[in-house]
Amino acid sequence: MQKSKPDRYGTLAVSIHWLSAVLILALMGSGFRAANAMDAATKIDILRFHIPVATVVLLLTAFRIVWRWRFDLKPRPVAGSPAWQERIAHGIHVAFYVVIFGMVASGIAMVVLSGAAAAVFGQPGAMLPNFTDYPPRALHGLGGFLLVALLVFHAGAALYHQFIRRDRLLRRMWFGN
């Protein structure tokens, strides 16, 4: 049940995939809201959600990589998919990992360099810095943009399989048999 089989992902991989999807969407929403927040108090409230959720995503992603590469079985490519499509799909999956780790690293760097942790986590009188004064902020913005592009491409490919190729690809990444 927990491990993947040649024709489908196992319960653990499916759970991590959908939990990560929900949390990453929450990070995108809260990140863009934080960046556009008009006052410091609102930005702080949002970051108190954004940073812990990002920590959970980091742990889930690290666990997912270890589980996939060391313990899980790898499902076969979808029957009938041309090799070039498989290569693109693989590239997109690797890009997701790179961008997620890049977002976490640039987020941490931004908070450490700016000294924002004191204001975000409640030290009385601490002022929230202007994040755009720090170079990792630009990388965080670029990563957010790349993540939107990857998510659109990834979801578009899943819908193409589901509704145009009709090869029931989404069944492989859902619970049950």
- In the bound complex, what is the minimum distance in angstroms from residue 34's beta carbon to ligand HEM? 4
Give the torsion through C-alpha atoms of 13, 15, 20, 21, to 10 deg: 100
Distance CA(42)–CA(37), nearest Å, equals 6
Nearer to ligand HEM, 137 or 172 (CB): 137
- In the bound complex, what is the minimum distance in angstroms from residue 1's beta carbon to ligand HEM? 28
Nearer to ligand HEM, 153 or 171 (CB): 153
Neighbours of 111 (CB within 10 A): 20
- In the bound complex, what is the minimum distance in angstroms from residue 14's beta carbon to ligand HEM? 20
Distance CA(61)–CA(136), nearest Å, equals 21
Decide: 119 and 128 in contact? Cβ < 8 Å. yes
Nearer to ligand HEM, 2 or 130 (CB): 130
Count Cα neighbours of 169 within 13 Å in the Cβ-side half-sphere. Answer: 20
Contact positions vs ligand HEM (CB under 6 A)? 24, 27-28, 31-32, 34-35, 43, 47, 50-51, 54, 57, 100, 103-104, 107-108, 110-111, 131-132, 137, 140-141, 144, 147
Residues 6+ apart with CB under 8 A from 142: none
- In the bound complex, what is the minimum distance in angstroms from residue 171's beta carbon to ligand HEM? 27
- In the bound complex, what is the minimum distance in angstroms from residue 46's beta carbon to ligand HEM? 8
Nearer to ligand HEM, 38 or 164 (CB): 38
